[in-house]
Amino acid sequence: MPVLRQRFIPHSQFTIRHSLFSNWRRCLMLALLLWAFGALMFNARAQSPTMDEQNHIARGYTLLRTGDPRLSVEHPPLINALEALPLFMLSPLRLPVDDWAWDVGEWYRFADLFLWQMGNPVEVIVFLARLPVVALTVLLAALAFRWARELWGSPGGLFALALVALDPNILAHGSLATTDLGQTTTVFIAGYAVWRMAQQPSWGGYVLTGLAMGAMLASKLSALLFFGVFITLLCGLNSVPKGLRSLSAAASAPRDARLPLLHRLGGIALLVLLAMTVLWAAYAFQCSPAVQGGAAVPLGTYWRGVRSIFVQAQGGRPSYLLGETSVHGWYAYFPIAFAVKTPLATLVALLLAVLSMLARKAWRADIFLLAPVLAYWGVAVQSALNLGYRHLLPTLPFLYVWAAQLLGLAELASHTSVPAILAPLWHKCVKIVRERHWLLLGFRAFSLKALLGLWLALTCVGIAPHFLAYFNALGGGPANGWRIVADSNIDWGQDLKRLRDYLAEHELGGVRLSWFGSSYPEFYGIDYDPLPGLPHHFDLWAAPPFDMQQPEPGIYVISVSNLVEIPFEDKRVFAYFRQREPDARVGYSIYVYKVPP
């Protein structure tokens, strides 16, 4: 009988098939990690320094050289210090510690002097500082694979790995010497450590989790929110016995299999103490005033930074959305940015993951993945600090591991329960799917993940290497996304090298340039007449050196973030150029206009 023939497969044949399948998975996992590493290394060399990188590099290197964290008010120093470590392979770099910017801790001027004015090797510094971030990004992808595999098996692990390694937004910031991907990785490591603690609590686990959460706090100020979420999870939930994957299963476990309350509280106290010690160590155990004129206290610089972030979150930084500028932000900013900059394949996977969670009817097992996301999003949408999709990066790995639980369409059609208001529509869809059994055969869980993974791979390869400028079809693609959001969403100063090559290739000299970025075009040998820019030539916005109604003939090169005039509500300077299509685009972030006589 066919069933018997399938049941009694010779052991040798079974071993060969299993080995081939396992090798295939290993090869795919290795290919995804190598792709991510290769794409990140290429951009680490190809992209010019972006707007904030010089600040992060200067902070980290100065702290390691002087032991003084006075420049680390806006960001904790851990990730910056990691980025600065490779710089010690060079001869000692010159620091402008004799300038007034060092005396008052003015990091913008100090960083500008350090990178561009002191004769230090700019290209080498930026490339080396990006290498630790590349390593952290690859580590993030590998950890996403591990966590998803432990939850959903090897197919789920591969799917989570693909979602991370093929995400243009992660690849965009994974090759930049900033704190965004560093924070994303440390938050995810801490979340994984907390989840492992809930599975198998131990004193050693509390120590490791405390160290991980300390590193998380020392990566970025907004990590303080995740710290609160993780502590709440550890305090408010009974621990999960080893081998149980869901909290619902833990609830029915024997009482003696759970960790005693006093044991848990003592472990959490130890965890908090270790986390704060690691955070203080990142500031070189400095004591300083937390408020102007106050007494020196441990972590004074950190608490001063937290206060400044709260002030900024209430308003004061201009942001751009759908043609408008505001210092108060919008509730819809991050939902819109997420909708237009997340790959469509990923959005579909997240939608199907919701149905899979309903079908499993074990939603409490997902609380360690969803609680950090929901808490962070709840704060983000109310914040006036709307500076880019990059602020959502810490939530992506949690979402991607959660999305890896995908079931096949047949399972979804059979088991998913939906709200009563949607029941008629859902049952009609189920009926259509069930009547077409040939369709179900091609969409089991594995093949559904493979299809979405292939779609995501084509999307990622299609935008490479311009990952920072990625917009999906809902956002009009990278050529039109600037009409929705700008700044670090599309133009952060990454394409100055490409502009140099474009001008040389087309033999264009003496262009009129409006540059958005902290880099200096003249450093790359670009011959230009300045137009209003940011931060360089900012004074020209008040009196632009050209006719705004009918510009004089010539070649006008304008960064997209300047084209939409992010700092100003009255957008009049480049209105003429916004109304016409550019003659050329350089990496999607710099537009070239040829104004004829």
Quote the DSSP letter at residue 524. G
Which pLDDT belongs to residue 4?
A: 37
Radius of gyration, alpha carbons of the chain: 26
CA distance 296 to 54: 29
Q: Would you place residue 301 in the very low, low, confident or very high pLDDT band (cuts 50, 70, 90)? A: confident
CA distance 241 to 199: 5
Pairing of strands 534-535, 528-530: unpaired
- Amino acid identity of residue 448, one-letter, is L
Per-residue pLDDT reduced to its tens digit, 47-95: 999 999 999 999 999 999 999 988 988 889 999 999 999 999 999 999 9
Convert 322-361 to b/e letters by CB count within 10 Å (16 or more is b). Answer: eeebbeebbeebbebbbebbbbebbebbbebbebbbbbbe
Which pLDDT belongs to residue 60?
A: 96
Contact 402, 160 (CB under 8 A): no
Per-residue pLDDT reduced to its tens digit, 484-507: 999 999 999 999 999 999 999 998
Helices 367-380 and 223-236: crossing angle in degrees, nearest 10, is: 140
Would you list the DSSP string of 423-450?
Answer: HHHHHHHHHHHHH-HHHHHT-SHHHHHH
CA distance 122 to 49: 9
Average pLDDT over residues 17-30: 72
Helix or strand run (H / E) with residue 298: strand 296-298
Q: How far is CA 228 from CA 13, 391, 444, in A?
A: 52, 18, 39
Residues 6+ apart with CB under 8 A from 502: 508, 584, 586, 592
Alpha helices in 200-326 (DSSP H): 203-217, 223-236, 247-251, 261-282, 300-313
Q: How far is CA 285 from CA 58, 276, 282, in A?
A: 20, 11, 7
Given a cut of 80, whether residue 20 has pLDDT beyond it is: no
Which pLDDT belongs to residue 304?
A: 86
Which pLDDT belongs to residue 477?
A: 95
At 514, give phi and psi (nearest 5°).
Answer: -110, 105
Q: Would you place residue 312 in the very low, low, confident or very high pLDDT band (cuts 50, 70, 90)? A: confident
CA distance 284 to 62: 12
Given a cut of 60, whether residue 437 has pLDDT beyond it is: no
Given a cut of 50, whether residue 361 has pLDDT beyond it is: yes
Q: Would you place residue 203 in the very low, low, confident or very high pLDDT band (cuts 50, 70, 90)? A: confident
Q: Which of 181, 213, 155 is nearest to 83 (CA)?
A: 181
Q: Which of 588, 591, 596 is nearest to 574 (CA)?
A: 591
3-state helix, strand and coil shares in percent for the chain, rounded to the nearest 5: 60, 5, 30
Q: Would you place residue 426 in the very low, low, confident or very high pLDDT band (cuts 50, 70, 90)? A: low
Alpha helices in 47-106 (DSSP H): 53-66, 78-84, 100-104
Percent of the chain with pLDDT over 90: 66
Pairing of strands 511-514, 528-530: parallel
Per-residue pLDDT reduced to its tens digit, 105-162: 898 999 999 999 999 999 999 999 999 999 999 999 999 999 999 988 888 899 999 9
Torsional class of 410: left (φ above 0), alpha (ψ -120 to 50), beta (otherwise)? alpha
Q: How far is CA 91 from CA 52, 117, 302, 342, 430, in A?
A: 24, 17, 31, 42, 67
Helix or strand run (H / E) with residue 38: helix 11-46
Cis amide linkage into residue 535, ω under 30° from 0: yes
**pTM for this model (two decimals):** 0.89
Which pLDDT belongs to residue 363?
A: 63
Average pLDDT over residues 445-462: 87
Q: Would you place residue 343 in the very low, low, confident or very high pLDDT band (cuts 50, 70, 90)? A: very high
The domain locations on the chain are 11-46+130-403, 481-595
| More confident site: 328 or 440 | 328
Q: Which of 172, 144, 166 is nearest to 403 (CA)?
A: 144
Which pLDDT belongs to residue 263?
A: 76
Quote the DSSP letter at residue 557. E
- Amino acid identity of residue 85, one-letter, is L
End-to-end alpha-carbon separation of the chain, Å? 85
Helix or strand run (H / E) with residue 595: strand 590-595
Q: Would you place residue 374 in the very low, low, confident or very high pLDDT band (cuts 50, 70, 90)? A: very high
Cβ neighbours around 437 below 10 Å, total: 9
At 64, give phi and psi (nearest 5°).
Answer: -70, -30
Given a cut of 60, whether residue 525 has pLDDT beyond it is: yes
Residues 6+ apart with CB under 8 A from 409: 433, 439, 440, 443, 444, 448
Helix (H, G, I), strand (E, B) or coil at 76: coil
Given a cut of 60, whether residue 530 has pLDDT beyond it is: yes
Average pLDDT over residues 194-217: 91
